[in-house]
Amino acid sequence: MSAAALRAKLFADRVYELGTENAFKIGPHIALLESQGHKVVRLNIGEPDFDIPSFVRDEVKRQLDLGNTHYCDPKGILTLRKAIANQMKEMRGLDVSPEQVVVFPGGKPSIGFSQEVYCNPGDEIIYPSPGFPIYESFPRYLGAVPVPLHVSEDSNFTFTAEHLRDLITDRTRLIILNFPSNPTGGVATLEQLTSFAEVIKRKCARDVRVYSDEIYENIVFDGQEHVSIATIPGMQERTIISSGFSKTFAFTGGRVGYAVFPTEDEANIFKNVNINYFSCIPPFVQEGARVAIEHPDSKKVVAHMVKTFQHRRDVIVKKLNVIDGIRCKTPGGAFYLFPNISGVCQNLGVFAAFDNLSTDLKARTSPSGLFQMFLLYHHYVATLDRNSFGKIGSEGQHFLRLSSASELEVLEEGVRRLEIASRDRAGFEKFIKSTVMHVC
Ligand SMILES: Cc1ncc(COP(=O)(O)O)c(C=O)c1O
C-alpha cells in the first residue's frame, strides 16, 4: 500500500475537510530564510507588538505566587465573568448575567464550538470573506455548508443588507459577523448594522444565531466608537458576542477569550463543551484578564496603543497608494492593511504565470499567493495573501494583508521592499522558473 493510501486509511474522512490558519503556516518559511542569513520583514503577524500591561503581568505573577494553579470553574472564574458582564453594561449598555458568559482559551475556540453546537450536517453557515480563516476552515469538517458573504472593496469592505438577505435560506443556522474586521479593517456603521438586523429578524427563525466576533472592538480609529449588532433592539436574544484579551491587551499568549450567549442554557452547553475538551482555563491568567478589565489605567494603555496603530495606518496607507499597481483603502479599525494588488499582478505578469502553472500547483496557490511568496523569497517581506482568508469564490480577488503590528521603521522598510518587488519583472521570472515549485 502506498504511503498516501496508508495515510488516507489512518485518518477519519473529516480530517481532510479541516482548513487552517496560514498565519501559523508561514512561520517555517520565515525560519528557513532567516537560517540562511536573510533579514525578513514580518508583516504577517496578527498580534500587537506591545507588551501586556505591567499591571496584568504583575497580577498573573501574584496569582502564581499565591498557588492559584489548580482546576477551576470550566465556565470561567466567577470574578472574571462578573467583570465581563459589567463591561457589557458599560460599553454596550447590555444587561448580561455572569451566567451567560463563558471563558475560552482565546477568541478562537468559540468560533468552531459554535459551529459544532448550533449546526447539524447540511446546515448553512454564512460568514464574511475575506474573513478570519477559521470561519471557513470548520464547516465542512462538521458536514455543514460554508456560505461566504463576499465583502466589497467599494463599500470599505462591508456588504449590503440585500446581499445578506440573498444568502439566507431555511438551512441557515449561523451568521458570522466581524467588525472591525480581520483582514480588511472594515467597520460597519450603525445604519448598516441596523439594516442587517432588520433582514435577520425578518428572514430568520428565532433560533438562528448571529456570531458577532468583536475581538477588535477596542481598536477603532478616527474617534469612532465600536457598535455591536447585539445593541439593536431584538438582537441581543439572537446574538453571541465574542471577544478576548489577545488584541486589546496584547495578551495573545495568555489565551483568554470569552463569549456572551443569549441564554444561560446555551452558555451551559458551552461549559460542557469546555469540560469535554480542556476542563478549564488556567485560573492565574484569568485573574490577569480580570485586572486588565478592572484596572484604572487600562483605558489609557489601550488608547495609547490605538493611537500608535492609527498613526502607522496613516503613514503606510499613503505610501502604499503611491506604488504603481497598488490601491489601498483606509481601514477603520484593527491593525491590518489590505491593499489591492491587481495592478502589480498585471505589471509583473503574475496572471500569465499563474495560468501556465501545472494543475496541481494551480490548486495550491493563486495570483496573489504567487506574489506573496515571491515577495517573501526574493525580497524578504512576509505577508499573507487573499486566499489565507477564505478561498471559496475568491477567484478574481487579488489582495495582500499587511499587519501594522511592527515599529513604523520596520513597516516603512517592508513597503520600500514591496515597491521594489512590484517592478522586479526579472526577479519574478526567476521565481517562477526556480522557486515556485518548492514553496507553493
Ligand atoms: C477576527 C478574529 N477572531 C478571533 C481571533 C482569535 O483570537 P485569539 O488569538 O484570542 O484566539 C482572531 C485572531 O487573529 C481574529 O482576528
Which of 115, 182, 216, 226 has most ligand 1 atoms within 8 Å of its beta carbon, as the pocket-test mutant? 182
Residue with cell 443556522: 173
Which of 24, 47, 108 has most ligand 1 atoms within 8 Å of its beta carbon, as the pocket-test mutant? 108
* Distance of CA 411 from the midpoint of ligand 1 (Å): 22
Would you say 223 and 214 are in contact if contact means Cβ atoms under 8 Å apart?
no
- CB count, 10 Å around CB of 26? 21
* Distance of CA 262 from the midpoint of ligand 1 (Å): 21
Q: Decide: residue 332, CB within 10 A, 0-12 exposed, 13-18 middle, 19+ buried.
A: buried
Q: Which residues does ligand 1 sit against, CB inside 6 Å?
A: 46, 106-108, 132, 178, 182, 213, 215, 244, 246, 252, 257
Strands (E) in 248-399, as ranges, are 257-260, 336-337, 381-382, 384-385
Strands 124-129 and 41-42: unpaired
CA 90, 92, 94, 98 dihedral sign is negative
Q: Could you give the CA distance from residue 149 to residue 133 in angstroms, rounded to a whole number?
A: 13
Would you say 46 and 403 are in contact if contact means Cβ atoms under 8 Å apart?
yes
* Distance of CA 134 from the midpoint of ligand 1 (Å): 9
Strands (E) in 48-100, as ranges, are none
Q: What is the pLDDT along the chain (440 residues), one digit of tens a residue?
A: 777 787 778 999 999 999 988 878 899 999 999 999 999 999 998 899 999 999 999 999 999 999 999 999 999 999 999 999 999 999 999 999 999 999 999 999 999 999 999 999 999 999 999 999 999 999 999 999 999 999 999 999 999 999 999 999 999 999 999 999 999 999 999 999 999 999 999 999 999 999 999 999 999 999 999 999 999 999 999 999 999 999 999 999 999 999 999 999 999 999 999 999 999 999 999 999 999 999 999 999 999 999 999 999 999 999 999 999 999 999 999 999 999 999 999 999 999 999 999 999 999 899 999 999 999 999 999 999 999 999 999 999 999 999 999 999 999 999 999 999 999 999 999 999 988 888 88
401 pairs with which residues across the strands?
A: 384
Q: Specify the residue with its C-alpha closest to ligand 1, atom 14.
A: 46
Which has the closest alpha carbon to 244: 119, 136, 111, 129?
A: 111
Instruction: Give the distance from CA 29 to its chain's centroid.
Output: 21
* Distance of CA 107 from the midpoint of ligand 1 (Å): 5
* Distance of CA 108 from the midpoint of ligand 1 (Å): 5
